[in-house]
């Protein structure tokens, strides 16, 4: 049994993506209070909700908030109705490599510009024969 099956979460985790990119449409950005069980300190964090029924809510960390702000603008109200891509990747966290969710723009990457073909080598010209020479 997988950890995520044994301990299901209301919020999305990297293993929920099952190794595939997921395009989601933001329906709301809400702010919820979370209490750290170790420190008992409460912190307010942004939570994304999505149109897609299979997608759980996503609590944003600073990295993902900054990425979305760069892609969709700083005003969270403007994010509603916009689509983003969620993907899982390995990141370093407190000295360990862990799976994490990251975000990128839904717009496709620009196509690579094909390299210019080199010009054909010049045709050698024989001495005494020019372009206007008449063959015998």
Beta strand spans in 3-109 (E): 22-35, 42-50, 58-59, 83-93, 96-105
pLDDT averaged over the chain? 86
Q: Tens of pLDDT along 7-17?
A: 888 999 999 99
Residue 27 maps to a domain? yes
How many structural domains are present in the chain?
A: 1
Q: What are phi and psi of 17, to 5 degrees?
A: -80, -15
Residue 33 maps to a domain? yes
Model confidence at 3, in pLDDT bands (50, 70, 90)? confident
Burial of 86 (0-12, 13-18, 19+ CB in 10 A): buried
Residue 117 maps to a domain? no
Residue 91, domain CATH: 2.40.50
Chain-centroid distance, C-alpha 87 = 6
Long-range contact set of residues 90-98: C-beta below 8 Å, sequence gap at least 24: 98/14
Residue 114 maps to a domain? no
Q: Tens of pLDDT along 23-78?
A: 999 999 999 999 998 899 999 999 999 999 888 999 999 999 999 999 999 999 99
- Using a pLDDT cut of 70, give the percent of the chain over it: 80
Residue 123 maps to a domain? no
Residue 60 maps to a domain? yes
Residue 14 maps to a domain? yes
> How many H helices and E strands in the chain?
2, 5
Domain membership of residue 41 as a residue range = 3-105
Residue 134 maps to a domain? no
The β-bridge relationship of strands 58-59 and 42-50 is antiparallel
């Amino acid at each position: 049994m997988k950890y995520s099956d044994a301990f299901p979460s209301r919020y999305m985790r990297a293993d929920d993506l099952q190794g595939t990119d997921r395009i989601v449409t933001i329906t709301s950005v809400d702010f919820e209070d979370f209490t750290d069980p170790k420190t008992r300190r409460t912190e307010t964090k942004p939570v994304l909700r999505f149109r897609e029924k299979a997608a759980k809510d996503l609590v944003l960390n600073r990295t993902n908030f900054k990425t979305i702000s760069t892609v969709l603008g700083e005003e969270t109200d403007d994010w509603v109705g916009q689509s983003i891509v969620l993907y899982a990747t390995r990141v370093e966290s407190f000295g360990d490599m862990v799976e994490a969710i990251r975000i990128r723009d839904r717009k496709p990457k620009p196509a690579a510009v094909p390299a210019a073909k080199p010009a054909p080598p010049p045709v050698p010209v024989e001495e005494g024969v020019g372009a206007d020479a008449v063959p015998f």
